[in-house]
Each structure stands twice: as C-alpha cells, then as structure tokens.
Amino acid sequence: MGDWKDLYSEVRKRKMEALNKKDVVEAVEKHGKILAIEGEYEKPDKIIEHIYAAEKQFVKKKNIKKEIRKLDFGRFDVVLIGCSGRSIPAAAFPKIKEYVLNGGWLLTTDWAIESIVEAIFPGYIRWNREKTADAVVSCQIVEPNHPFLHGLKAELEQSKWASKNTKKAEFKWWLEVKSFPIQIINYDQVKVLLNSWEIKKKWGEGPVLVYFNYGKNGGRVIHMISHTHLQKGGKKGKYASALILTNILDEKVSQKMGMKKSSGYSDTWQYTQQGAPQYNTNSPPLEEQWVNPSHQGDYITPSNVQDTPDNEMGLTTTSQIVEVDPKNPSFSYGSKCVVCRYDFGEYTEKIYKCKECGAPYHQNCLNRQINEGVCKKCGRILLW
C-alpha cells in the first residue's frame, strides 16, 4: 500500500531534518526491534512493514497460539498487541507480564484494554463498558512535551495539515464501531497524553493515549483507543499516529542505548558512557518527573502536612466545596483540575473548587476525590 510507505518515509524524513533526531532514527534503524501481533480488527502489518527499525516481526492471528510459545519476547523493545487480543491464550499471560517486568514496553489497542491490560495488569485502566459509534473525533494534546508526542504539536501546526474544521494542535482520531473508552482507575500512576472531549461527552471517558510504568526495571504498558492504522482518521490523523508510534520506539531505544539530549526534546541527542538515559539538567529527568511526580511543594496530602508555627492547619481543618461560576472573570478555562490535570475547555458540566486553597475540580473528579475525604491540593477535609 503505497500511501503507508510514503507516510512513514515522510515521518522519518521530518525527524531527520526538522526535528533534530537524526542520531535517534539511525540508532533505531541499527538496534530497534518491534514485534506486532495481529488482532481480529487491528492489522499492524500495514504499518510495521514501513516503520524504521532493525528488526520487525509480525505474527498473524491464525498462527498466534502456535508461535507465541516459541517467541522470545525479551528480544524486542516494543511489543504491539492489536485489537482485540482475544486470540492470545491465557497461558501466554505470564510470559507477557514477565516481559514487561523485565523492562519491555507493551503497546495495546482498543479492545485489548479488556482482553490483555485488564487481565494481565489489573488496577490501572479499564474499559468503561460503553461502546462508541463509528466516528471520527477531535483529539487534544495533553502533554505536548512528552517524548511520545515529540514534535507532534509543531508538526500538526504546519500549513500542510491546516484544516478549517480542526484547531491547529488538534487532529482527528478514528473510532471504529464499538471502540472501548478508557477509564482511569489509578490516577497516580496512569498518565494521559491525548484526550478527546468528544469521546468524553458522548461515551463517558476522554483518554485516547495513556501509559503506566510496571515493575522496577523500566517496563511500561501503553494503550490507545482505536487502531494504529486509523484508516478513517484522515492524513493528519494518520501522520499523528505514525509519529506517535515511531516516537515510542525512539524513546525505548534511546533509553536502551543511553542517549541523551542537551536541552529539551527538540535538540540534538548525544551518546553517554552510561547505559541509562541521562539529561543535562540539575533537576530529575523530565520523564522521571512525569512518571513519578513529586508531591512535595506541589500537592499536600494528609501524610505530608505537618503542624508548624507557620502551618497550623493540622489534619482536622476543613474546607467548603464551592461551585464555580465560569462567567466570573477570575476563573480561567485554561486552569487544570487538580485530580485529572485536564483543563476546562469545552467542559459542560459543573465546576467546583476548594474554598480555602482554590483548587478547581471537574464534577466527576470531585466525586472521586471526596471518597478520599480531603482536598487533593491542600489536604483539608472537604465539606459540602
């Protein structure tokens, strides 16, 4: 299929010439290894054939039960399990779990949230039991500086991708009929990189691309709603998908090879003597901050609130929950909910805040936080 070849050729070219990732691309071409397992509805052979990597292995659905026993998962940097994942026998689950525990990265799509992620890695994300229609929806970029989304915002703002119906930094994502919306269970560990207010409004949950770390060896589970090939997402959506998929492999290989950036993710990468990724900064690596955000100086929880002469709040101080008037000039739709970290753009339900510290909440996020009893930001007991 010529257009896929052209698409991935363009992604490679842009990374080499415009995104200053020549060293990374060349490292992936020499050392990157990806395994793709076909699903009933995901056909990753369409894209795996053209992705740049040293080794690309594809397993057809009809051969899964036979081949999965022989596969050495540990050889691969990224393993892609396509929707639905139901052809993978439960006997292989321990093998997949061990792969991630040993530092492998697993990428799953759509229905595999139930058949693979919920089954093998419970307690992080789940299908919310709604099923979408066959639709093409707009996506918003939540973490534009994350390495998985490197260059995405800048690329989509190029005139080539201009669209009258979509904001510059947005793109269309195709939902196949009965796609499974992603519900976050563990808000402390799961990171949302792409979101769609359209999906949330129609089917209850907005995440499009999420990930969480698993184990102590750098293992990671990445999940996206819909499919990697996004046949109906339009050229802009397909380009975004290709950029994200290659970025995931870029990041994994760069960590494996001990490559670093001098400053930010748009500068040149360099090799280090160590075997682990390092960044030229006095603060913790950005990736480490995303994975394990520090609560000190950011959020206060009952476990770190201390009674001092300057802080006499204590753990029994209360705060009232106040409904916010969005028309009030003091409120900004660009402010972020302290629970989910999404802003309030296009949000149509009620907005609340902690009266004492002013922390804003989406209505459903507040309901979740009330179960913990205290404000996410200041640690005061929340009262209606």
Check which CATH number belongs to the domain holding 328 and give it: 3.30.40
Q: Is the per-residue pLDDT at 297 higher than 80? A: no
pLDDT digits (tens, 9 = 90+) for 133-161: 988 888 999 999 999 999 998 888 886 76
Range of the structural domain that residue 363 is part of: 318-383
Number of domains within the chain: 2
CB-CB contact of 367 with 360 (8 Å)? no
Q: Return the structure tokens found at 317.
A: 């101080």
Q: Counting Cβ atoms within 10 Å, is residue 46 exposed (0-12), middle (13-18) or buried (19+)?
A: middle
Predicted local distance difference test score (pLDDT) of residue 42: 80
Cα dihedral 207, 81, 1, 54 in deg (nearest 10)? 110
% of the chain exceeding 90 in pLDDT: 50
Q: Is 231 in the same domain as 378? A: no
pLDDT digits (tens, 9 = 90+) for 256-288: 999 865 333 343 333 333 333 322 333 333 333
pLDDT digits (tens, 9 = 90+) for 307-347: 333 333 333 477 889 999 888 888 888 888 888 878 887 78
Q: Is 266 in the same domain as 334? A: no
Q: Return the structure tokens found at 360.
A: 């804003």
Q: Is 14 in the same domain as 120? A: yes
More confident residue, 8 or 44: 8
Helices (H), 157-285: 197-203, 234-257
CB-CB contact of 125 with 182 (8 Å)? yes
Predicted local distance difference test score (pLDDT) of residue 217: 95
Q: Is residue 291 part of a domain?
A: no
Q: Is 265 in the same domain as 362? A: no
CB-CB contact of 196 with 140 (8 Å)? yes
Q: Is residue 288 part of a domain?
A: no
Q: Is 115 in the same domain as 221? A: yes
Predicted local distance difference test score (pLDDT) of residue 261: 56
pLDDT digits (tens, 9 = 90+) for 61-116: 889 988 998 999 999 999 999 999 999 999 999 999 999 999 999 999 999 999 99
- Phi-psi domain of 317 (left: phi exceeds 0; alpha: psi -120 through 50; beta: other): beta
Q: Is residue 147 part of a domain?
A: no
Q: Is residue 10 part of a domain?
A: yes
Q: Is 236 in the same domain as 359? A: no
Element (H, E) at 260: strand 259-261
C-alpha span between 148 and 105 (Å, rounded): 13
pTM, full prediction: 0.69
Q: Is the per-residue pLDDT at 43 higher than 80? A: no
Q: Is 119 in the same domain as 227? A: yes
Q: Is the per-residue pLDDT at 121 higher than 60? A: yes
Of the candidates 131, 113, 130, the residue with the CA atom closest to the CA atom of residue 122: 113
Predicted local distance difference test score (pLDDT) of residue 289: 33
Predicted local distance difference test score (pLDDT) of residue 164: 56
Q: Give the end of a domain, one of 248, 271, 294.
A: 271
Q: Is residue 53 part of a domain?
A: yes
Q: Is 251 in the same domain as 368? A: no
Question: Coil, strand or helix: which one is 191?
Answer: strand
DSSP collapsed to 3 states, 198-219? HHHHHHCCCEEEEEEEECCCCE
Average confidence (pLDDT) over 335-362? 86
Q: Return the structure tokens found at 74.
A: 């540990």
Predicted local distance difference test score (pLDDT) of residue 99: 97
Predicted local distance difference test score (pLDDT) of residue 168: 55
C-alpha span between 141 and 150 (Å, rounded): 11
Q: Is 8 in the same domain as 78? A: yes
Q: Residue 304's pLDDT band (boundaries 50, 70, 90)?
A: very low
Q: Is residue 109 part of a domain?
A: yes
C-alpha span between 274 and 260 (Å, rounded): 10
Predicted local distance difference test score (pLDDT) of residue 157: 81
Average confidence (pLDDT) over 11-29? 93
**Peptide bond between residue 84 and the one before it cis (omega within 30 degrees of 0):** yes
C-alpha span between 10 and 58 (Å, rounded): 23
Q: How many CB atoms lie within 10 A of CB 1?
A: 12
Predicted local distance difference test score (pLDDT) of residue 313: 36
- β-strands 219-224, 381-383 pairing: unpaired
Q: Is 324 in the same domain as 266? A: no
Tell me, what CATH number does 9's domain have? 3.40.50
Per-residue b or e along 50-83, where b marks 16 or more CB atoms closer than 10 Å to that residue's CB? bbbbeebbbbebeebeeebeebebeebbbbbbbb
Q: Is 264 in the same domain as 369? A: no
Predicted local distance difference test score (pLDDT) of residue 163: 58
Average confidence (pLDDT) over 35-61? 90
Q: Is 238 in the same domain as 353? A: no
Q: Is residue 214 part of a domain?
A: yes
Q: Is residue 38 part of a domain?
A: yes
% of the chain exceeding 70 in pLDDT: 80
